[in-house]
Structure 1
Amino acid sequence: MVTPSRNPYPISGAATARHAYAVRGVLAGFAAIWVVTLVGYLIGRFELLGPSGPTVLARLVFFVAAPALLLTTLVRSSPGDIFTGALAAFVLSTVLSAGAYLAITLLVYRHTSKERPDSPALTVGTLAASYVNAGNLGIPVAAYVLGDVSFMAPVLLFQTMLAAPIGLAVLDVTTGGRRPSPRALAMLPLRSPLTLASAVGIGIAATGWRPSDEVLRPFDLVGSAAVPLALLALGMSLRGSRPFTAGPDGRDRYTAVALKVVGQPLLAYLIGRHALGLEGPALLAAVVTAALPTAQNVFVFASRYDRAVALARDAIVLSTLAAAATLVLIAAWLG
């Protein structure tokens, strides 16, 4: 796990200098993230790993490296470090951002001559406005900016155990498929190795047992590859994207992106600071996790049901590019 550098201003009386040091640390962390992402883009641009390279790297992170990183991090944590006010602020901001997208979209189309989008498109847009990339990008951001990837574990659990099953159920019903059974919905989270690793890690931590470093060392070794591989895979996935191309879903696309990178983190700040009384690292964690861009899973969901695929793809690319700026601003402001 990446840990922040030692503060060279340990004595009081230099608040401005300490803040400047923190800002430099944040900028250095994000610089590392985006330099590695750029390397990934160049790898994809010149097809150094072949046409299936991005898929292979993403699957390696999703099924092996990231679960190992989450497992070892959570095993060394306590339940009180996981279920915090920061998670509450994130969950509430997610629900409100999703509701805002629905309200804005329906209100706009009600007052225009354009045809109202169908329910599957509304569902995909709602997910694009609120479902964050807590895996491929959230883990490296938590490592470099927050100094602790355990902040991502409850976010992953919430999304895969609640948000994803609800979204998939709506898509399944509204696209004419069979109504999913309660058992099928309950089994959805078990298909995610990130969720399973998080659940196992939390379960072990709750028992109070701490495996020895020798037992965890293989997991540490594999998990250390999660952050660089995730960033390389993200950069490779950006090749060939044309998110600014005009299209029939342009208004929905920009609405979703604006809510994702500006609206949701603003809601998380207001809820965390003024409703829950959060401050310091807890407030920073709530706002940073809410400001993460749209998850690639939204594209997977849209592709699975063949609805609003372009909307999902372009929202992911645009929100990822925009988050590069908003996350730095947030971390510099609250860090």
Structure 2
Amino acid sequence: MAACQVNTAYVAIPVFALLFGDVTPIFPVILLQVCVLTTIVIAIMESAPDDSSPDSPRPRGAVPRALWAALTTPLVLACWIGIAANAAKIPAPHWILDSLSMAGSAASPVALFALGLHLGGAGLRLHGATSDEYWLIAFKCLAFPLLAFTIAHWGFHLTGPWLAYTVIRAAMPSPQNLFIFAQTYDTEADLAASAVVKSTIAALILLPLWAILIPRV
């Protein structure tokens, strides 16, 4: 998640609104990340062996249970319900939409509040960070956008706005959900918190560079 998923709601939507005046190109990425990639990540974490006995055999039915847990996670479930309701053209009362909008608006601040509390106790891993952490951030903020540019431009022959959309989306930082899942499954929470914050800082510094260079291609 840290290397290839992007922060869509908290960073990408405001950036796209500022640069392009249109946030529509973000929504396919949101659907891909929530409905597909997040489901895969949760299923893997749910089916992982217990750290206390890594050599113990996996219980029968572990994979189906893991997949069910992934699909019924509120984030994933809400996304699928929204897609189904939209496809079926089911009208929703305004009071439901207003309530869901208020709850959705609180998601990012709550996640960032939890991230801040964790960093307040654990620190930002400036001196204790490993080289793997910086390689991960470098890949996310530099190599991943360049890889997206290479595939989009020379593989799919994209030019103009869609090439810019693709590269800018890839240049977004690691998502805050990375920290939430790491804390939920008690695995590398310090690394996840540090990666989210550092990749956000690096992405915001590099964003003007991508915005200037891509339109010239």
Q: So what's the TM-score if we normalise by structure 1?
A: 0.50
| Residues 168 and 207 in structure 2, CA contact (< 8 A), matched pair in contact too | yes
Distance 1:334 1:316, change over 3 A: same
Q: Say yes or no: does 1:149 pair with 2:33.
A: no
Aligned to 2:83: 199
What is the letter of the counterpart of residue 182 of structure 1?
P
Between the two structures, name the one with larger relative contact order (CA 8 Å, sep ≥ 6): 1
Aligned to 2:180: 300
What is the letter of the counterpart of residue 130 of structure 1?
C
> Of residues 14, 21, 26 in structure 2, which corresponds to 1:140?
14
1:156-171 counterparts in 2 under 5 A? 156-171=30-45
Q: In structure 2, what is the Cα distance between the partners aligned to 1:267 and 1:160?
A: 22
Q: In structure 2, what is the Cα distance between the partners aligned to 1:331 and 1:234?
A: 28
Unaligned runs of 5+ in 1: 1-126
Q: In structure 1, what is the Cα distance between the partners aligned to 2:144 and 2:62?
A: 30
Q: In structure 1, what is the Cα distance between the partners aligned to 2:179 and 2:153?
A: 32
What is the letter of the counterpart of residue 137 of structure 1?
V
What is the letter of the counterpart of residue 141 of structure 1?
V
Give the length in aligned residue pairs: 200
Distance 1:162 1:245, change over 3 A: same
Distance 1:301 1:276, change over 3 A: same
Aligned to 1:259: 139
RMSD over equivalenced CA pairs, Å: 3.5
2:9 counterpart SS class: coil
Unaligned runs of 5+ in 2: 51-57
Q: How far off is 1:232 after superposition?
A: 6.6
Identity score, percent? 30
Aligned to 1:188: 70
Q: How far off is 1:158 after superposition?
A: 1.2
Aligned to 2:154: 274
Q: So what's the TM-score if we normalise by structure 2?
A: 0.74
Q: In structure 2, what is the Cα distance between the partners aligned to 1:140 and 1:203?
A: 27
| Residues 137 and 199 in structure 2, CA contact (< 8 A), matched pair in contact too | yes
